[in-house]
Structure 1
Amino acid sequence: MTFLDIINQYDPQQVRESIEAKTSSDVERALAAERLRPDDLQALLSPAAAGYLEEMAARANRLTLQRFGKNILMYAPLYISNLCTNGCRYCGFSASNQVPRRTLSLDEVWTEAKVLYDLGFRHILLVTGESPKAVDNDYLAACVRRIQPLFSSISIEVYPMETEGYRQMVEAGVDGLTVYQETYDRALYQEMHPFGKKRDYDFRLLTPERGGAAGLRRIGLGFLLGLGEFRSEAFFLGLHALHLSRHYWRTQVSVSFPRIRPADGGFQPLHPVSDRHFVQLLCTLRLLLPDAGLVLSTRESAALRNNLLPLGITQMSAGSCTAPGGYADKDLSTQQFAIDDDRSPEEVCRLIRASGYEAVWKDWDGAFLDHSKAV
Structure 2
Amino acid sequence: MTKTERITWLDENRIETEIAATAAGADRLRVREILEKASTLGGLSEDDVAVLCAVTDPDLVAELFHTAEKVKTEIYGPRIVLFAPLYFSNICLNECVYCAFRRSNKELDRKILTMEEIEAETAALIDQGHKRLLLIGGEAFPKTGFQYLIDAIERIYSVKRGRGEIRRINVNVAPLETNEFRRLKDTGIGTYQLFQETYNRKVYEQMHPSGAKADFDWRVSVMDRAMAAGIDDVGIGPLFGLHDWRFEVLATMQHIAHLEDAFGVGPHTISVPRMEPAVGSDVSMAPPHMVSDFDFKKIIAILRLAVPYTGIILSTRENPEMRRDAFRLGVSQISGGSRTNPGGYATPVEEQAAQFTRGDHRPLDEVVRDIAASGCVPSFCTACYRMGRTGADFMDLAKPGLIREMCGPNALSSFMEYMLDYGSEDTCAAGEKAVAAEVATMEPKIARYSQTMMRKVREGKRDVYR
TM-score (norm 2): 0.75
Matched, 1:279 2:283: no
| Change in CA separation of 1:43 and 1:50 when aligned onto 2, cut-off 3 Å | farther
Q: Which moved more, 1:326-335 or 1:284-293?
A: 326-335
Deviations 1:19-78 (A, max 9, x none): 424532432332233542221110001145654121111111111111111111100000
Q: 1:142 aligns with which of 151, 164, 188?
A: 151
Matched, 1:72 2:80: yes
Does structure 1 conserve the Cα–Cα contact (< 8 Å) formed by 2:278 and 2:357?
Answer: yes
Matched, 1:219 2:238: no
Aligned residue in 2 for 1:181: 196
Superposed displacement of residue 304, structure 1: 1.1
Superposed displacement of residue 133, structure 1: 6.2
Does structure 2 conserve the Cα–Cα contact (< 8 Å) formed by 1:85 and 1:196?
Answer: yes
Matched, 1:351 2:360: no
Letter in 2 for 1:361: F
Show structure 1 runs of 4+ deviating over 6 A. Answer: none
Q: Which moved more, 1:40-49 or 1:243-252?
A: 243-252
Name the CA distance, whole Å, in 2 between partners of 1:59 and 1:47: 14
Aligned residue in 2 for 1:123: 132
Aligned residue in 1 for 2:17: 14
Structure 2: which 5+ residue stretches go unaligned? 159-164, 394-466
Aligned residue in 2 for 1:338: 357
TM-score (norm 1): 0.92
Does structure 2 conserve the Cα–Cα contact (< 8 Å) formed by 1:24 and 1:48?
Answer: no
Q: Percent identity?
A: 33
Alignment coverage as a number of residue pairs: 370
Superposed displacement of residue 176, structure 1: 1.2
Higher RCO by CA contacts (8 Å cutoff, separation 6 or greater): 1
Instruction: Describe how 1:23-172 pairs up with structure 2 within 5 A.
Output: 23-25=26-28, 26-33=30-37, 35-48=43-56, 51-98=59-106, 99-132=108-141, 134=143, 136-149=145-158, 150-172=165-187
- SS of 1:294's equivalent? strand
| Change in CA separation of 1:250 and 1:14 when aligned onto 2, cut-off 3 Å | closer
Deviations 1:69-108 (A, max 9, x none): 1111100000001110111000000011012211100010
Superposed displacement of residue 241, structure 1: 2.4
| Change in CA separation of 1:41 and 1:49 when aligned onto 2, cut-off 3 Å | farther
Superposed displacement of residue 16, structure 1: 3.1
Deviations 1:170-217 (A, max 9, x none): 112222111111001100000000100100001110111211222224
Letter in 1 for 2:150: A
Superposed displacement of residue 351, structure 1: 1.0
Q: Which moved more, 1:180-189 or 1:301-310?
A: 301-310
Does structure 1 conserve the Cα–Cα contact (< 8 Å) formed by 2:241 and 2:287?
Answer: yes
Q: Give me the CA root mean square deviation.
A: 2.2
Name the CA distance, whole Å, in 2 between partners of 1:318 and 1:363: 16
Aligned residue in 2 for 1:5: 8
Q: Which has the larger radius of gyration?
A: 2
